Amino acid sequence: MKKIFLLSVLASFILVGCGDDGGTVTPGGGSSEPTMASMTKENRNAVLEDFTGVRCGYCPDGHRIAANLLLNYPEDMVVLGVNAGGYAAPAAGWANFTNSYGQALVDQSGVAGYPAGTMNRQLFPGKSQDKGTGLAMSRGYWEATAKEVMAEESNVNIGANAVFDKAKSELSVTYEVYYTGDESANENRVNIALLQSGMVAKQSGGGDNYVHKHVMRDFLTGPWGHEVPSEKTAEGKWYTETVTYDVPTDYNGAVIPPGGGEVVAEDLEVAIFVARGKIDIITGINVPVEVK
């Protein structure tokens, strides 16, 4: 359970409340203007949620496409490897890279086959796997839709840093969002995902010593993010929070298989993105984790 600390320069007390599962959240504060988020109008970054599983024989080809996108657009591309669904479900002899939120993402995306992916949780007419309104697309559409997203202007910029304290096993992420244009959606929600690379485990279609990358371990901000106050989403406004998260020693067990492996601090990264509610990601960034 997370605690939300509401800070005010007009008050001399701190109000502590409860919210979604995730880290401890401290909103507000900071200087008179952002120091990490750019204040210059920028294009959107593409955020790919790659739905995958260790027993999916075609999924390594999806991983290859995602890796090439990161290689070709290192500053403009974010990839989350979401292990969920039947091909990822725990099974004897296979690693368990699932998490608490993957199935909900699959369900809202209309996944009809693996590998599948959403690009910015956005509907691209004619490209849905379910031939309708589903957000999930087959891997052949990922590059084209990523380019389409990156060609559009964003009305919000994100800046952040992430620090892992080994002695405390604590991850601290401070982010800023700056609005270069008015946001008309009812709510904007900031999502922080913890990713890990470097786990070696059997992968159907990839062999017994396959290196798994950008595996989504957890959401620090709960399943659907933390809301930006509506008064902070107009042009020229900005908002900052610090989120702290107790990092476990492993996910689903230290031994692979049957578990998902130990946490290696040096292999961690953070993905941060701003969505309109549960869908329609405006933009996102990758943040390396500094280990202390």
Reading the chain (292 residues) residue by residue, the pLDDT tens digits are 333 332 222 222 222 333 345 677 776 655 678 999 999 999 999 999 999 999 999 999 999 999 999 999 999 999 999 999 999 999 999 999 999 999 999 999 999 999 999 999 999 999 999 999 999 999 999 999 999 999 999 999 999 999 999 999 999 999 999 999 999 888 999 999 999 999 999 999 999 999 999 999 999 999 899 999 999 999 999 999 999 999 999 999 999 999 999 999 999 999 999 999 999 999 999 999 999 9
Place of tokens 């998260």: 245
User: Three-class SS string for 96-145?
Assistant: CCCCCCHHHHHHHHCCCCCCEEEECCCCCCCCECCCCCCCCEEHHHHHHH
Q: Which of 66, 46, 45, 22 is nearest to 212 (CA)?
A: 66
Query: Which whole-number Å values give the CA distances from 253 to 204, 223, 258, 261, in the listed order?
Result: 21, 22, 7, 6
Cβ atoms of 202 and 210 closer than 8 Å: yes
Query: Which whole-number Å values give the CA distances from 73 to 147, 162, 164, 213, in the listed order?
Result: 10, 22, 26, 17
Q: Which of 269, 284, 291, 115 is nearest to 196 (CA)?
A: 269
Place of tokens 């292999």: 267
User: How many angstroms separate the CA atoms of 3 and 281, rounded?
Assistant: 25
User: What was the pLDDT predicted at 16?
Assistant: 31
The domain 3-291 belongs to what CATH superfamily? Immunoglobulins (2.60.40.10)
Cis peptide leading into 90, omega within 30 of 0? no
User: What was the pLDDT predicted at 44?
Assistant: 98
Q: Which of 82, 129, 81 is nearest to 106 (CA)?
A: 82
For 62, phi then psi, to 5°, come to: -65, -40
User: How many angstroms separate the CA atoms of 238 and 59, rounded?
Assistant: 39
Amino acid at site 204? S
What pTM value is reported for the model?
A: 0.91
For 70, phi then psi, to 5°, come to: -65, -35
Q: Which of 150, 212, 188 is nearest to 272 (CA)?
A: 188
Tokens (6 digits) for 28:
């507000």
Residue 226 has a CB neighbour count (10 Å cut-off) of 24
- The beta-strand segments (E) located in 197-278 are 199-203, 207-212, 215-219, 226-228, 238-246, 268-276
User: How many angstroms separate the CA atoms of 269 and 251, rounded?
Assistant: 15
